[in-house]
Amino acid sequence: MATLKPDEAEGGARMCAFLDTIAHSELGPKLIEATDDGYNVIVGSTPQKPILFGSYAEHPRRYQANMNSDAAGRYQFLGRYWQHYKAQLKLPDFGHRSQDLWAIQLIRECKAIAMIEVGAIEDAILFCRSRWASFPGAGYGQHENRMADLVAAYRKAIEVYA
C-alpha cells in the first residue's frame, strides 16, 4: 500500500489506489509482498532474487548493466532525476513518503490527476505511459502490462481504501 493516506494525497483514495497500480505494474504483487512494499527494490529484481537497497537517505543509483538502468523504489525512479525532484518537492530523503510524493508529481506532469479523481483510470494510465515503461503503449522496449490487468489491479486496490 502507498504510505500516503487518502486524506494526505491529492486525489484521495483513488490516487492511493493508482499509486498501488503503478507499483503493481512496475514490480508485480509477489515482489511487493517480498520486500518493503517495493520501496527498497532495485531494477532487475525478481520475487525469487530481490535486489534491495538498505538506506533511504538518497536514491541508491545502483546501475544494473543487464537492464541498462539504475531505476529504484516502488515506482522505479531513475537516479538521474533524483536531485531535480528532491529540490523541487523539498524531499528529505528517498523514503516511502518521498517516493509517493514524487510519483504524484509525475502524474501531475502527465496531466492525469483530474482523470484519477473521476475514476478514468484507463485514460490516466495512457497519459502516464511516458513515465512508467510497464504501462501499455509506453514504447520503451520493455515488458508492458495489459490494460485489463492494470484496471483489475486498480479495482482491487480501491477496495482497500474505500
Give the span between the Cα atoms of 157 and 162, in whole angstroms: 9
Annotated catalytic residue 10: no
Contact 96, 19 (CB under 8 A): no
Catalytic one among 8, 10, 26, 122? 26
Q: Which three cell numbers stand for residue 127?
A: 497519459
Q: Which residues of 9-43 are buried (b: 16+ CB within 10 A; e: fewer)?
A: bebbbbbbbbbbbbbbbbbbeebbebbebbbbbbb
Sign of CA dihedral 143, 148, 149, 153: positive
Partners of 52 in the beta sheet?
Answer: 41
> What residues act catalytically?
26
